[in-house]
Amino acid sequence: MKMTVEVECTPEEARSFMGLPDVSGLNARMVEEMQARMTENMARLSPDELIKSWSAFGAGAQEQFRKLMTQAVDIGMSATRPK
């Protein structure tokens, strides 16, 4: 025997019926916090701020980064050469 039951209700009614807690207040607070953090991080990604943070490391860090990229390219080129 096959039986189908259709229930029309809102998500709030379904959560209440199943005994799940109402987390709408917590959800609203989490969304606010995420928006605040995203806004704060967007300010850090402005071109001016990026240049300031990159230049703060000095020439030594820039040279290390260049060497790292050179090594990565060399490894990539050696991996694609026919043997």
Q: What is the pLDDT of residues 29-82, one digit of tens each?
A: 999 999 999 888 877 777 777 777 767 666 677 777 888 888 888 887 776 666
Check: CB of residue 12 under 8 Å from CB of residue 22: yes
Domain residues for the domain of 31 are 7-45
Same domain, 40 and 66: no
Residue 2 lies in a domain: no
Tally of structural domains, the chain: 2
Q: What is the 3-state secondary structure (H, E, C) of the chain?
A: CCCCCCCCCCHHHHHHHHCCCCCHHHHHHHHHHHHHHHHHHHHHCCHHHHHHHHHHCHHHHHHHHHHHHHHHHHHHHHHHCCC
Q: Could you report the per-residue pLDDT of 3-40, keeping only the tens digit for each?
A: 999 989 998 899 898 999 988 899 999 999 999 998 88
Q: Are residues 40 and 13 in the same domain?
A: yes
The residues, ordered by sequence, that sit 6+ positions from 21 with a Cβ below 8 Å of its Cβ are 15
Please indicate, yes or no, if residue 52 is contained in any of the structural domains. no
